[in-house]
Structure 1
Amino acid sequence: MQAQKKIAKSVDWRLYLVTDTELAGGPDRVPRIVEQAVLGGAGVVQVRDKHMTELEFLKLTQACVDATRRVFDATGHQAAIFVNDRLDIAADLGLHFHMGQSDGDIKEARQRLGRDSMIGLSISNSEQLRLEMREPTADVLGLSPIWSTPTKTDTDPPLELQGAEQIVRETAGRAKTVAIGGINAVNAPWVIDTGVDGICVVSAIMSSPDPLASAEQLMSYWRVR
């Protein structure tokens, strides 16, 4: 069972930021980068940190939520917030949730979150996609990795462009698709051409000296299509 269809349809998936505390230079700097990225057009933010305690992560997530609210108050542009892996925090804050293949049972996550929150699921091959599509639960599929990347080393073999295009075709619109892994300002147009609904970036924004300009540049590739 997926979330209510109107929720995924209301989201601008084109630019999806995944946070990285280390690349940002520390937790205090993450919310500002999130704010700048959303000002630059990012429609989705996933808060991810595998090393923080639950309390530290809760504080970081709330600070990122506050950052996106400031943008909304100033501009009317709203970003959807996903919590990576930490289901309790997603449920407690009423946020969306992203999980990997080894992060538990997606159906249990759906029971916990209900149909008012979206669930994202990492997909690395056609077999994982077929298993998910037998009884669709995820609202958005993270095609991962497109290419190898130093920000996440425990991944399956790269899909590359042809593999991503194949999964988009096999999904056939039954869930949103976003691509992640090694995407930057140079290769982003090639990934967009695979037919995904969005591109996910980490270092392209989190380590940028100007996150606002970097987000605007990545968004510009969609506007010419």
Structure 2
Amino acid sequence: MTQPLIPQLYLLTNDDVFDLLYAKLEIALATGVIALLQVRRKKVLAEQQGQAKLYHEAAQIVALAKKYQIKVVINDDIELAAKLGVGVHLGQGDGDISAAKQRLLPNQIIGRTCHGDIELVKEAKDDGADYAAMGAVFASHTKPNAATITRQQLIDGCQQEIDICIIGGLTAENIANLAELPLTYIAIVGDIMDLPVDKIAERCHQWQQALHS
């Protein structure tokens, strides 16, 4: 009997001021629990000179992740991803997968937001995305107005022969409810990043235990 695949933890940045964010990431990545990191800084982008500021921040985050051999994706920005030599995660209105494939190297991950729509999951697979993100699984503080998806939608998504990433309100406690699904990535924001710096490592280890059990 083969061992079941253990899902990997996929951490997204939050909107903390950069020094605090960096301190949290340094601790989280050092635990060895995080497999993939997404740079998502919507508030920074909205600032004056937001694009330049984001590049400056993302370059530092990518260097930190490289130190721990953790792959990085940039949220919604193919050009920035190409400039930094990392992957990209694309929302439905944020560029197409074929454009990302032209700009990025084959080892740079391309993800696509698919909500609970199986047709979008199939499309992501056909277009050559590396993973399809489904959610919100539960209500979350990060996106309180996001519609949650059904268990059946998740089951159907997992049958489309593309890696599935789930996001939305996931915690080290409620993830047990999804234990039998063949998931590749568990995407987390608030359950780790909203904690104070001195609680981050402990929470990462709780996640590790949850995923291995």
Normalised to the residue count of structure 2, the TM-score between the two structures is: 0.85
Aligned length: 199
Kindly report the root-mean-square deviation, in angstroms, between the aligned alpha carbons of the 2 structures.
1.9
Q: Is the 8 A contact 1:43 1:80 kept in 2?
A: yes
Aligned to 2:121: 129
Letter in 1 for 2:212: R
Shift of 1:128: 0.9
The structure-2 alpha-carbon separation of the partners of 1:97 and 1:168, relative to structure 1 and needing over 3 Å to count, comes to same
CA distance in 2, matches of 1:37, 1:163: 31
Q: Which string of whole-angstrom CA distances, capped at 9 and with x for unpartnered residues, describes residues 52-98 of structure 1?
A: 2111111221221232244x3xxxxx211110012111000100110
- Please say if 1:202 is aligned against 2:202: no
Q: List gaps (5 residues or longer) in structure 2.
A: 1-5, 45-49
Say if 1:32 and 1:178 are closer, same or farther in 2 by CA, change over 3 A.
Answer: same
* In 1, Cα distance between equivalents of 2:103 and 2:65: 25
One-letter amino acid of the structure 1 residue matched with residue 121 of structure 2: L
Fraction of identical pairs, as percent: 25
Match of 2:202 among 210, 213, 216: 213
The 4+ residue runs of structure 1 with deviation greater than 6 A are: none
Q: Which has the higher contact order (CA 8 A, sep 6+)?
A: 1
**Per-residue deviation at 1:39?**
2.1
Return the letter of the residue paired with 2:207.
L
Change in CA separation of 1:90 and 1:37 when aligned onto 2, cut-off 3 Å? same
Is the 8 Å Cα contact of residues 97 and 127 (structure 2) preserved in structure 1?
Answer: no
Q: Which amino acid aligns with 2:97?
A: I
Q: How does 1:14-93 map to 2 (within 5 A)?
A: 14-21=8-15, 24=16, 26-40=17-31, 41-52=33-44, 53-70=50-67, 72=68, 78-93=69-84
- The structure 2 residue matched to 1:162, chosen from 152, 158, 165, is 152
Distance 2:30 2:150 in 1: 30
- Please tell me whether the aligned partners of residues 179 and 191 of structure 1 are also in contact (alpha carbons under 8 angstroms): no
